Structure 1
């Protein structure tokens, strides 16, 4: 029988020593002349400040236990994810912001509604202990999936514009002309999560599983939650990629079905 125990808490002294890990990484970059010292230093500072602020913010929200601040923080997360996704897609002056926003929102809401309705039965829908971590994990992965599928579709359309225009001249609709590129883009966006699922528990230990184990949770319960999270990520990713590629391809043609990329 597994017995949970109190987790070993890290104080500011321990966090101070943890900077030594990054100091070694920066020293190695300098030694090998990789030129990554500034990036590593910036990433260290940003991740430290952002996660520390997140810890205090979430702790405050937990204490308040009110839906308004929870909805606000989730909204901010969604906006940041949308902006980051658009910046990674070569939009060439076109505005994909609201299309990406809607795609991330719809896919995340669908997945969360399914999980909280049928699997994790919350006493109140805005329970921050579950809503914030679940949303953060699926939204972060959906953001990457949207960027991968969107960027690949635009690149494919530009590289194969003559072939697409030939299909259009032969009477194909815009959808028929680009459908293979759309499917390929969706498949590519799912490669990272599928690769992770293939070796999870054998080669890699996911973050949620590791975090729960360090927090003293029962390993079987931690595994169950990790399985749920992986399945949630897959569903959200594929929904997001479908919606994003659909929105992007529509913006690549005008009302006369002419390619305008």
Structure 2
């Protein structure tokens, strides 16, 4: 079956759904009209821009152009995750960026060396979409773990100081909160793994099927993606929670909130 290509007129008709959504928001007085309109414009502008840029990168297949795109993606993910956690913590930008970078890099290295084995590791067709998927999910996991841990430490200052006064190390004093934060960050991923393909078809698998890829091959790729996300998210949550809690203690192991 040939791929149904979308023309400009088709996208205009697709915009009709957002126009209807804006109308419903106005009718129900939800106050979402401006947000829906801005989100619609940004979606169109961002995806069209990315589409043109990727078309050039895919044609050129140059290492530096690929690295430039990956660095931009990493920078944006780092800033977004940092802002969700806490804008005041010192060195948080470096901690979040390092956590996302390490988790994404380890995941992609493992996948490229042992699973996909592409001729060139920087093959744009593979490295850019896979990095985008892993990076986005690692960003969310880092943000969830970091925000949950920061909130827990600030809300349980007395309990943590009690543990410290009894001789516990900072790591021991916040161990329970850190574990809870990591578990909370993985809940969305684990929930998705439980129902993937049964309740919903993920975007990547749906896109492949729509483009004419054999459903079994699309399912195989989706299995790979889900395992990559679980691994990357766990590493990102572990690293960012490790870095975050250390920001709350001075060299004398005293809590500073």
Aligned to 1:145: 141
Unaligned runs of 5+ in 2: none
Is 2:206 aligned against 1:210? Answer: yes
- Counterpart pick for 1:200 among 196, 199, 203: 196
* 1:187-234 per-position Cα deviation (integer Å, ceiling 9, x unaligned): 000001111111111110100100000110000000000000010000
Is 2:131 aligned against 1:135? Answer: yes
Aligned to 1:224: 220
* 1:52-73 per-position Cα deviation (integer Å, ceiling 9, x unaligned): 1000000000010111000000
Q: After TM superposition, which residue ranges in structure 1, 4 or more long, deviate above 6 angstroms?
A: none
**Greater shift in the superposed pair: 86-95 or 124-133:** 86-95
Aligned to 2:24: 28
Question: 2:89, 2:247 within 8 Å by CA — same for their partners in 1?
Answer: no
Give, in angstroms, the shift of residue 93 of structure 1. Answer: 4.5
Q: Are residues 91 and 180 of structure 1, via their aligned partners in 2, closer, same or farther at CA, if it must alter by over 3 Å?
A: farther
Aligned to 1:90: 86
Partner of 1:252, secondary structure, is coil
Give, in angstroms, the shift of residue 120 of structure 1. Answer: 0.2
Is 2:111 aligned against 1:115? Answer: yes
Give, in angstroms, the shift of residue 38 of structure 1. Answer: 0.6
- Counterpart pick for 2:157 among 161, 166, 170: 161
Give, in angstroms, the shift of residue 92 of structure 1. Answer: 2.8
Matched residues in 2 for 1:90 and 1:110: separation? 26
What are the within-5 Å matches in structure 2 for residues 44-59 of structure 1?
Answer: 44-59=40-55
- Counterpart pick for 1:79 among 62, 75, 81: 75
Unaligned runs of 5+ in 1: none
Is 2:236 aligned against 1:243? Answer: no
Matched residues in 1 for 2:195 and 2:170: separation? 39
* 1:164-190 per-position Cα deviation (integer Å, ceiling 9, x unaligned): 000000100000000000000000000
Is 2:172 aligned against 1:181? Answer: no
**What TM-score does the superposition give when structure 1 sets the normalisation length?**
0.97
Matched residues in 1 for 2:128 and 2:50: separation? 11
**What TM-score does the superposition give when structure 2 sets the normalisation length?**
0.99
Partner of 2:116, secondary structure, is coil
* RMSD, aligned α-carbons: 0.8
